[in-house]
Amino acid sequence: MIFQVIWFILWAVLWAVYFMLDGFDLGAGMIYPFFASDENLKKDVLNTIGPVWDGNEVWLITAGGATFAAFPTTYALMFSYLYSAMLLLLFSLIIRGVSLEFREKAEGERWKKGWDKAFFLGSFLASLLLGVAFGNIFQGLPMDASGYHGSLLGLLNPYGLLTGVFFVLLFAVHGALWLSIRLSGGPGKNKKASALAGALWYPLLLAAVGFLVYTAFATHLYTNYLDHPLLIVLPAIAVISLLGIKYLSMTGRLPQAFFASCLTIVSVVFTGVAGLYPNLIPSSLDPAYSLTLFNSSSSVYTLRIMTVVAVVFVPVVIVYQFWIYRIFGRIKAPIGEGTGAAVEGGKEKTAY
């Protein structure tokens, strides 16, 4: 039982880290058409995420791989029941990645504008679909002994869509704050990014309140919080950090505001997963058919081996990613110009 619980927690950690990291480049992609007003600024925005976006997506692969290895039944049924939705999510991520790579392969204006639109569309759809997927998991899927009784359109229910909008706004604010700390020089680039984050914060707050209220009616997530009041610290951290984003941004402490955004995303994920426990995918038809960490996990031996591997290699991955973020410094340009170059320690280098 202990290894099943450990991997349930690690499963939550992997998803939280993925949303925290890929959230800012998905967010940057969504605000890209509204923020980047000229070609130089567009290149600067792309250079802030160019060296790290594919590394961030490794956490998505890791989260999916951990689900497959630790909870194979959940993995199999989730990718069977939600096949169409997962395929749309995959296509949106592919479009986002291809647009980043292909945009600079030609100099034509129509070519660049086409890939700019693809970059925005891929980022927006991926954010929305991830939110819709988790919203439906939170409220449960219509499944019983005879299988899944839902449809792709059925996933676009009010609660699922609200969660999708919540994720879109959460990532958009996260992306704007990322740009505010990675861009420097030029005519107030970081101030423009922080102002956009401040403007987006108000609809984010509205979506967050709606999500918290609607969750009480659409899901059973709050049952665990009523049974174990100490868990209330998780949504409390989410609320405090969300409010902290606005306060820290207004006082000009942008790195701290970005950290508060990271904490908001992580605490939101843990709030949802703590409410799910012990379920991985609850059934909205009959709780007896819910997929839990106990009835869908691998053998204890498998989980024990996986734990040893995780203890050895996850710290290595974390150190490597920290090193990458340290190597690629801010995108800096002389006043009035945009060079699309990363600068660290006074030495200029091409970031992407």
CATH number at residue 220: 1.20.1630
What mean pLDDT is predicted for residues 134-138?
Answer: 96
Output the pTM of the full model: 0.91
Q: Say if residues 16 and 265 touch (Cβ distance below 8 Å).
A: yes
pLDDT at 187: 52
| Dihedral sign for Cα atoms in the order 64, 69, 70, 73 | positive
What one-character DSSP code corresponds to residue 141?
Answer: B
Give residue-wise pLDDT tens across range 294-340: 999 999 999 999 999 988 988 888 888 888 887 775 655 443 444 34
Give me the domain span that covers residue 40.
2-318
Portion of the chain with pLDDT greater than 70, in percent: 92
In Å, how far are 79, 213, 310 from 82, measured between CA atoms? 5, 26, 28
CA dist 256 and 262 (Å) reads: 10
Token pair for residue 321? 């990613």
- Which residues, listed in sequence order, are joined to residue 16 by a DSSP beta bridge? none
Q: Is residue 326 part of a domain?
A: no
pLDDT at 188: 64
Instruction: Say how many Å lie between the first and final Cα of the chain, rounded.
Output: 46
Q: Is residue 351 part of a domain?
A: no
Q: Is residue 137 part of a domain?
A: yes
Q: What is the dihedral of CA 167, 170, 175, 178, to 10 degrees?
A: -140
Domain count, the chain: 1
Q: Is residue 211 part of a domain?
A: yes
Parallel, antiparallel or unpaired: strands 183-185 and 330-333: parallel
**Could you tell me the strand order of the sheet in which 330-333 lies?**
183-185, 330-333, 341-344, 347-350
CA dist 151 and 198 (Å) reads: 37
What mean pLDDT is predicted for residues 117-132?
Answer: 96
Phi-psi domain of 89 (left: phi exceeds 0; alpha: psi -120 through 50; beta: other): alpha
pLDDT at 185: 55
Q: Is residue 344 part of a domain?
A: no
Q: Is residue 216 part of a domain?
A: yes
Q: Is residue 336 part of a domain?
A: no
Give residue-wise pLDDT tens across range 138-162: 999 999 999 999 999 999 999 999 9
Tell me the chain's radius of gyration from C-alpha atoms: 21
Q: Is residue 329 part of a domain?
A: no
CA dist 7 and 19 (Å) reads: 18
Distance between alpha carbon 109 and the CA centroid of its chain, in Å? 31
pLDDT at 191: 85
pLDDT at 36: 84
